[in-house]
């Protein structure tokens, strides 16, 4: 059970006059919010004054970026909008990276900011920033509340909009005078979207294309998770026997033992996945967007394939690759409707699975006596089993986790995909553990990423959030170093992190259990200790600074042009 530090105040005075701030808290309660991640300040203080005595559990982070990342992960795991809150000026701008991250990865999030009083707006008042203008390109919608009576309706609309259609972040800006103004309480009126009709003609065309294909391939993205269509997707793959490749965000859509799953595609994808894409004659694209990291050189991507593209967002269909069959709508309804019948694709299936076996990773072949990160990550995920949830930072460790970890479900793999934001892992792990206290939630980080939000160790300790941290330390910015080695003539510029602190001592200074692994024979016992720790725990793992992530598609090249190390 995670201990939450109480706010010192016995009860919310029911006889106190209703204000805009109290309406904010009441609206959040009525909308079913459990956790709010935030950091107080002058312009949001009236809302914080209204928090004590409410049913909301506020998590005081140590940096507003941590609040946004924690809310993001909480949303990915629960499917409900995550909520973060900050004051005006620097508090609001510190949320921006987290808001952009949620926008890129289609994560429902409601961001609440305080602002200066309406009479001071536009005067360059203390801690005034036009956060609505700053965030316009990275939110689905935003509001500056001018009348406290509008708060219940605005909050209801914000939560509905964040979670509906293609999810994403929204922003509510609360001027201070609106927060303190008297207001009449109004009930939340929950809306329901009408059930969308399926495009039967497009679905029939797609089913016919699948029947005609000799080398069909399913290309699954994060949209299947967002649509809560995992059961439907797995039934479809089992029924048709069509091989599957995944984007970074689609990992976990296939069950770990799915015989037709070929792995992640793209820049650091498996050779079997990329070869299957290049040889396919039909791509069935479900909830993916032809991201450049997945496709490589787009004009040479899947050159022989026609495309069926199904997605909740019509704007993504045919945006980068022409779709021969376009199906816009809810994947939870679309996937079961795609029924091509029995397919005669055994030769293709055998070819794909044979290639997958031929190119599978061999963990026992790693040279030397040091810790081999891919083998460690595989063993960790297998030891944690179906309860494993990884909150990954960005860098080499992120790609190793995607390649080698076993994910039983899409919400088991949390990472900053579209934005690639370092510093995501630790606060995201906090949000995920609060959402799934029964799971083995592990932050997988590198020494570079970990330093970005290391202050959140204090949050872990305060609330006794039993997050496990696997810190892979190669004393460098590993992915940048790898690119400089391969593509910049080994001109190693500003990637040396050999002056890192003693991370075990740092964690212990925060009151968190920590230990170090430096030799291969220590790995098994280290995994057992990490997962068995009753509270937060950090395993500091020293790895070879020269180790690279393989295979790799060089930038600007086709996915056919994969290179591998010795």
Which one, of 352, 395, 400, 394, lies nearest residue 373 by Cα? 400
| Whole-number pLDDT of residue 196 | 73
The yes-or-no answer to whether 200-358 and 363-542 have a common fold is yes
| Whole-number pLDDT of residue 346 | 95
> Strand, coil or helix: what is 340?
coil
Per-residue pLDDT of the chain (566 residues; tens, 9 = 90+): 344 444 434 444 555 789 999 999 999 999 999 999 999 999 999 999 999 999 999 999 999 999 999 999 999 999 999 999 999 999 999 999 999 999 999 999 999 999 999 998 888 899 999 999 999 999 999 999 999 999 999 999 999 999 999 999 999 999 999 999 998 877 777 777 777 788 999 999 999 999 999 999 999 999 999 999 999 999 999 999 999 999 999 999 999 888 899 999 999 999 999 999 999 999 999 999 999 999 999 999 999 999 999 999 999 999 999 999 999 999 999 999 999 999 999 999 999 999 999 988 888 777 788 999 999 999 999 999 999 999 999 999 999 999 999 999 999 999 999 999 999 999 999 999 999 999 999 999 999 999 999 999 999 999 999 999 999 999 999 999 999 999 999 999 999 999 999 999 999 999 999 999 999 999 999 999 999 999 999 999 999 999 999 999 999 999 999 998 86
- Rounded to two decimals, the pTM is 0.95
- Virtual torsion, Cα 527, 529, 533, 537, nearest 10 deg: -70
Cα–Cα distance for residue pair 110/167, rounded to 1 Å:
11
Which one, of 428, 390, 389, 400, lies nearest residue 97 by Cα? 428
The DSSP bridge partners found for residue 246 are: 220, 264
If phi > 0 it is left, if psi is from -120 to 50 it is alpha, else beta; for residue 270 that is beta
Q: Spelled out in words, what is the top-level CATH class assigned to the domain 200-358?
A: alpha beta
| Whole-number pLDDT of residue 191 | 73
Which residues contact residue 552 at a Cβ distance below 8 angstroms, ignoring those fewer than 6 apart?
A: 267, 268, 482, 486, 562, 563, 564
Q: Which long-range contacts (CB under 8 A, 24 or more apart) does 379-383 make?
A: 379/523, 379/524, 379/527, 380/405, 380/442, 380/470, 380/527, 380/530, 380/531, 381/405, 381/406, 381/407, 382/406, 383/527, 383/528, 383/531
Cα–Cα distance for residue pair 226/310, rounded to 1 Å:
13
Cα–Cα distance for residue pair 242/452, rounded to 1 Å:
42
List the alpha helices (DSSP H) in 264-419.
Answer: 271-279, 292-295, 331-337, 346-358, 373-384, 396-404
Cα–Cα distance for residue pair 261/25, rounded to 1 Å:
46
Q: Where are the domains of the chain?
A: 20-180, 200-358, 363-542
Residues 92-110, buried b or exposed e (16+ Cβ, 10 A)? bbbbbbbbbbbbbbbbbbb
| Whole-number pLDDT of residue 365 | 74
Which residues contact residue 137 at a Cβ distance below 8 angstroms, ignoring those fewer than 6 apart?
A: none
Which one, of 556, 387, 535, lies nearest residue 469 by Cα? 535
Q: List C-alpha distances in Å: 57 to 7, 60, 461.
A: 9, 10, 16
- Virtual torsion, Cα 454, 459, 465, 470, nearest 10 deg: 0
Cα–Cα distance for residue pair 514/518, rounded to 1 Å:
14
Per CATH, the homologous superfamily of domain 20-180 is Thiamin diphosphate (ThDP)-binding fold, Pyr/PP domains (3.40.50.970)
> How many other CB atoms are found less than 10 A from the CB of residue 357?
9
| Whole-number pLDDT of residue 7 | 41
| Whole-number pLDDT of residue 13 | 54
Burial of residue 356 (CB within 10 Å: 0-12, 13-18, 19+) is buried
Cα–Cα distance for residue pair 435/115, rounded to 1 Å:
29
Is the CB of residue 445 less than 8 Å from the CB of residue 472? yes
| Whole-number pLDDT of residue 11 | 46
Tokens of 406: 């076993």
| Strand pairing class (440-446; 388-392) | parallel
Tokens of 384: 């944690």
Q: Spelled out in words, what is the top-level CATH class assigned to the domain 363-542?
A: alpha beta
The DSSP bridge partners found for residue 219 are: 245, 285
> How many other CB atoms are found less than 10 A from the CB of residue 80?
18
> Strand, coil or helix: what is 284?
strand
Cα–Cα distance for residue pair 286/289, rounded to 1 Å:
9
Which residues contact residue 262 at a Cβ distance below 8 angstroms, ignoring those fewer than 6 apart?
A: 243, 244, 245, 270, 272, 273, 276, 352, 355, 356
Q: List C-alpha distances in Å: 238 to 254, 306, 360, 493.
A: 10, 22, 22, 49
């Amino acid at each position: 059970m995670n201990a939450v530090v109480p706010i010192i105040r016995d009860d919310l005075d029911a006889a106190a006059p209703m204000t805009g701030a109290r309406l904010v808290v009441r609206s959040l309660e009525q909308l079913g919010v459990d956790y709010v991640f935030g950091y107080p300040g002058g312009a949001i203080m009236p809302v914080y004054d209204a928090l004590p005595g409410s049913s909301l559990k506020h998590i005081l982070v140590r940096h507003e970026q941590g609040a946004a990342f924690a809310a993001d992960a909480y949303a990915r795991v629960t499917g409900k909008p995550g909520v973060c809150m900050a004051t005006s000026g620097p508090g609001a701008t510190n949320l921006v990276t987290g808001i952009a991250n949620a926008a890129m990865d289609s994560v429902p999030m409601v961001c609440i900011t305080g602002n200066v009083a309406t009479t001071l707006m536009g005067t360059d008042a203390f801690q005034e920033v036009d956060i609505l203008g700053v965030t316009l390109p990275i939110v689905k919608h935003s509001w500056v509340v001018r009348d406290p009576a509008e708060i219940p309706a605005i909050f209801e609309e914000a939560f509905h909009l964040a979670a509906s259609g293609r999810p994403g972040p929204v922003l509510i800006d609360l001027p201070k005078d609106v927060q303190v103004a008297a207001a009449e309480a109004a009930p939340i009126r929950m809306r329901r979207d009408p059930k969308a009709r399926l495009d039967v003609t497009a679905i029939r065309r797609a089913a016919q294309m699948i029947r005609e294909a000799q080398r069909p391939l399913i290309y699954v993205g994060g949209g299947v998770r967002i649509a809560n269509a995992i059961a439907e997707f797995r039934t479809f793959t089992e029924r048709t026997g069509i091989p599957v490749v995944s984007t970074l965000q689609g990992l976990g859509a296939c069950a770990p033992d799915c015989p037709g799953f070929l792995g992640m595609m793209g820049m650091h994808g498996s050779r079997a996945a990329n070869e299957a894409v290049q040889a396919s004659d039909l791509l069935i694209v479900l909830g993916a967007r032809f991201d450049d990291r997945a496709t490589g050189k787009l004009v040479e991507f899947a050159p022989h394939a026609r495309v069926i593209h199904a997605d909740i967002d019509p704007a993504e269909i045919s945006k980068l690759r022409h779709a021969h069959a376009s199906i816009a709508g809810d994947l939870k309804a679309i996937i079961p409707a795609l029924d091509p019948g029995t397919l005669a694709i055994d030769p293709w299936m055998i070819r794909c699975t044979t290639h997958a076996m031929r190119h599978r990773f061999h963990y026992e072949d790693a040279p030397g006596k040091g810790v081999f990160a891919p083998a460690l990550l595989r063993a960790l995920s297998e030891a944690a089993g179906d309860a494993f949830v990884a909150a990954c930072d960005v860098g080499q460790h992120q790609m190793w986790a995607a390649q080698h970890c076993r994910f039983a479900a899409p919400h088991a793999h949390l990472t900053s995909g579209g934005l690639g934001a370092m510093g995501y892992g630790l606060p995201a792990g906090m949000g995920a553990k609060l959402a799934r206290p029964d799971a083995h939630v592990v932050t997988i980080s590198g020494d570079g990423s970990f330093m970005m939000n290391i202050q959140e160790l204090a949050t872990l300790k305060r609330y006794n959030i039993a997050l496990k941290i696997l810190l892979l330390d190669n004393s460098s910015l590993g992915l940048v170093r790898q690119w400089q080695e391969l593509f910049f003539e080994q001109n190693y510029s500003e990637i040396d992190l050999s002056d890192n602190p003693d991370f075990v001592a740092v964690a212990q200074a925060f009151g968190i259990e920590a230990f170090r692994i430096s030799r291969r024979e220590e790995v098994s016992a280290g995994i057992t200790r990490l997962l068995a720790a009753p509270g937060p725990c950090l395993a500091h793992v020293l790895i070879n600074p020269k180790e690279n992530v393989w295979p790799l598609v060089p930038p600007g090249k086709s996915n056919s042009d994969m290179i591998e190390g010795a």
